[in-house]
Amino acid sequence: MSSINKMKGFADLFSPQSDAFTYMENTARRVFGSCGYAELRTPILERTEIFARGIGDETDVVQKEMYTFMDKGDRSVTMRPEATAGVMRAYIEDARHTKESISKLFTTGPMFRYERPQKGRMRQFHQINCECLGPEEPYADAELILMLMRFLGEIGLNGLILELNSLGCRQCRPLYHKALKEFLAGLDKSALCPDCVRRMETNPLRVLDCKVPGCREQIEHAPDILAYNCEACREHFSVVLRILEKAGAPFRINPRLVRGLDYYNRTTFEVVSTDIGAQGSVAGGGRYDGLVKALGGPDIPGVGFACGMERLALLMPEREIARPDFYVAVLDGAGLDEALLIGEELRAAGLTGEVSFAAKSAKSQFRQAGKINARMCVVLGTDELAGNTVVLKNMDTGEQRNVPRAGLASCFS
């Protein structure tokens, strides 16, 4: 019978790859927690309408990439392609706005999109998300961005570029839409990709987000969205930029930055790396003041971001893995019970290590101790069992000494 292999676009993560993900998650909990963010865990499976309404019917995610199917109750359900819409659903369902004026939430976990697998982008991928719901002030935007940059720095990422733009609001964006549509109407449609031809009618702002080189050339002289921001939006954006400058966070303004999802307004941002190819965005987000209302909740403003963990892992420097403190080698089968108890005693004292599950030769056991890079090998043979002692071997120097079995943990200090 042939073996069953994993599906294309899905990955098994063994150590040290899994260690990198754990390190990111633990760092996120520490950094985000220092700013008052609490962890939220949402379901992987949601009703399809959550994403259709939240992300936007005309986005590539909803049009092409979602894992959607009918369940046994004849309901259309979708494996989450992103986290924010599900967080909004949970926020509304729990009526969080009645319990706290500001909700700071973060999530981690797998997302699913059916797209062509490439470096740093899989069909099952993992994200870290932060959402700040309640404040409309630009200081919330600035704090969120600074928190993101601190997180990226603490996992060892350098040489990143922070790009920002302001997409305007419900009052001023229609003016830009009109100007953009007039500009797009004058383009040669035969020079645009099929998606952009469709977007020209359904969602013209998304044309600016196209990565096809021919389309990017066509829109090079498109109207600047910042020129259409109203006074309130300009003031909001200027405060965000001022705080970033005072905090010493370098950035550049990118008037073509619109993000890939429909719910963004005002501040939008991406963190880009030049070290992982054309798809260089490692984190991004922005303000989405109308999203909670669009999903059936109150008119609550919000701002947030998402980090792709696979892409972050590509950029993280290799970290030195902590060495195990011990390996318990058993030379006499009569000592297997005692060996396991020794291991538990040492772990209870705060040490780390492994225990042999079978009696083997000293040579093979020392080889195993070296393979796991243990600092010390605790040897339990016939003589040691009789004398209630162990042999403690320093795996770096080769030095060996007999020590009492009682109080063994103190010999590691």
Confidence category of residue 154, pLDDT binned at 50, 70, 90: very high
- Side-chain-side CA neighbours of 340 within 13 Å: the count stands at 7
Q: ω into residue 16 within 30 of 0, thus cis?
A: yes
Q: What is the pLDDT of residues 65-104, one digit of tens each?
A: 888 989 899 999 999 999 998 999 999 999 999 999 999 9
Tell me, what's the pLDDT at 343? 96
- CATH 3.30.930.10 residue ranges of the chain are 17-172+229-315
> What are the residues whose beta carbons fall under 8 Å from the beta carbon of 4, sequence distance 6 or more?
none
Average pLDDT value over all residues in the chain: 90
Confidence category of residue 262, pLDDT binned at 50, 70, 90: low
Tell me, what's the pLDDT at 298? 93
Buried/exposed code over 366-405 (b: 16+ C-beta within 10 A; e: otherwise): bebbeeeebbbbbbbbeebbeeebbbbbebeeeeeeeeeb
Residues 326, 123: Cα–Cα separation, whole Å: 40
Residues 176, 350: Cα–Cα separation, whole Å: 62
Radius of gyration of the chain (CA): 28
Tell me, what's the pLDDT at 201? 77
Phi, psi of 354 (to 5 degrees): -125, 165
Instruction: Tell me what the mean pLDDT of segment 8-33 comes to.
Output: 92
Tell me, what's the pLDDT at 20? 93
What's the token pair of residue 137?
Answer: 């002030």
Instruction: Tell me what the mean pLDDT of segment 279-291 comes to.
Output: 87
Decide if pLDDT at 180 tops 80: yes
| More confident call, 128 vs 199 | 128
CATH class of 326-412: alpha beta
- CATH 3.40.50.800 residue ranges of the chain are 326-412
Q: Answer yes or no: are the C-beta atoms of 229 and 237 closer than 8 Å.
A: yes
Tell me, what's the pLDDT at 205? 79
Residues 164, 254: Cα–Cα separation, whole Å: 6
Decide if pLDDT at 301 tops 60: yes
Tell me, what's the pLDDT at 357? 95
pTM: 0.87
Decide if pLDDT at 279 tops 70: no
DSSP-assigned states of every residue in 157-202: --S-EEEEEE---TTTHHHHHHHHHHHHHTS-GGGS-HHHHHHHHH
Helix (H, G, I), strand (E, B) or coil at 36: coil
Phi, psi of 29 (to 5 degrees): -60, -40
Tell me, what's the pLDDT at 398? 93
Helix (H, G, I), strand (E, B) or coil at 402: strand
> Where does 17-172+229-315 sit in CATH, by number?
3.30.930.10
Name the percent of the chain lying above pLDDT 70: 95
DSSP-assigned states of every residue in 322-368: PPPSEEEEESSGGGHHHHHHHHHHHHHTT--EEE-SS---HHHHHHH
Q: What is the pLDDT of residues 338-347, one digit of tens each?
A: 999 999 999 9
Q: What is the pLDDT of residues 346-387, one digit of tens each?
A: 999 999 999 999 999 999 999 999 999 999 999 999 999 999
